[in-house]
Structure 1
């Protein structure tokens, strides 16, 4: 294990700037060990433990360095072959933190999910459960630009929440719905908690339940937790949660949680964006045509909205269209995000401006689109 870390770190740059984050300080110490610069390694990890006295992984590395004065190191924690669940968890944390610095994401690729973000979304958060990492993307004229990333803990049982108490972190697209300050919480949640809109309407339709899925901090006696240690929440170190807060707009910022993020080149993102956008615009035009059959061709056979299925919805639209001499539909604040749960699935949100000869209406809508037999279809719709 230690040899693996050190081999990886040999390819990493040495970082000497003041105020480095915990990942880079830890990596600097391990890199110094790999190059037999033990005094420098000890100085670096001393600075880290002084800055974060509750950082257990840093103390483990420091203990190894002190032990190395008397005997060769065999593995991180150097337990002489003995197994310890706590040591295994610390090794997992070390592996994920080192991976973030040595298995770098390509600069020319972005998450496949952020097709179009309306300008009202300043940032989006993307969680990669497989890498124990949360990435912050800034919305620059609709293009996602990575501006920060953080080590995170997810559920003990991994990703893909289905029911209350399964210790899994949900996979899907959610919004930051609120913030709970430390005064409202126990010390377990550290410096606060951003609440997530789980379960969303798609989760509910799939029969998923549970509550209290948050992005929160760590107890005061713990700098960070193992990669899989929560009951389903996304957990950060307290100082990281504070830094993350500057990117969050309560009630606005989208959070995409994937079991393993799919990374694509910008031109591939543009192709997927254009494909879905064309389907949405054709749906809008066919609605304006007042031809109910054309309109309904854009809906899945399993479509639902509220208590209506496709048959009920179609009958309602037929009746409404018969009373119209003209219809105009405009879509403002349009955002398109591919859903991480499965391929060919998307969440579309917009402000709908509906005008006709006898009604003007403005509605916020969320639609789930599914690709069926090569064509995008609306499978679920919610008016907010």
Structure 2
């Protein structure tokens, strides 16, 4: 085989001692895997109807956008992928006792799309699986709490920040426009409480931008740029409730402000004051290990202006 043929091969085949091995494919890009899952993410769930009262021939619709995994007789299983905080999760809904089933395995279905009709011979049923089969009451609560879900790829401005990659990517309507190296808090791991010098993981929104000389003894370490996020968010607040740091009323207030893309309560033990900024001088990842701030995301001074100009108030930021 010529060298030209080798260069154009899609798979490199190695023959060793009479055995044939395929070269390992590169690992998936973590940003693409998070932002563009194989199944388009759901933008919300409908509450399951009470099928016990449905008459034969009544339409049965998909609860959310998803992909059909199984069609067998009168049974249809649909997988739904959705975002919850910084996590990409999935749930399955099984429909049984249907007739006149339309979709096939592998088809994409939209929320409200008719999957089939209530059969005459078998009892119709609907079961939601989220880690485990949910009871009817749990399924109603699960879907009601997720009636509206974010679709990050559709955001006007989106920033994804990977702790593992020490990288930031900025997207406009799903198109990548910036890719930058970043540093984090001095301590490793997700932020837990005020003063732990950790950078959080989660979904947040930009609430404030400022440029110019910053006040205070550490003002120079902002690099003349500050972009505030609304940490803590609703999931941080629930974590605070579980630990006894936040009461239910405060948690509800935090959740409401977070949904509105406004500043959240900065007075709790969860901490606050998380955002993007620069540094007092140029820095190197190899020398600093990216452990620099008290919990903020640190950019190189050379990248600050371009990032600041593109980051709009209200922009979604996901740290994972």
**TM-score, normalising length from structure 2?**
0.42
Q: For CA contacts below 8 A with separation 6 or more, give which structure has more relative contact order.
A: 2
Whichever structure has more helix as a proportion of its residues is 1
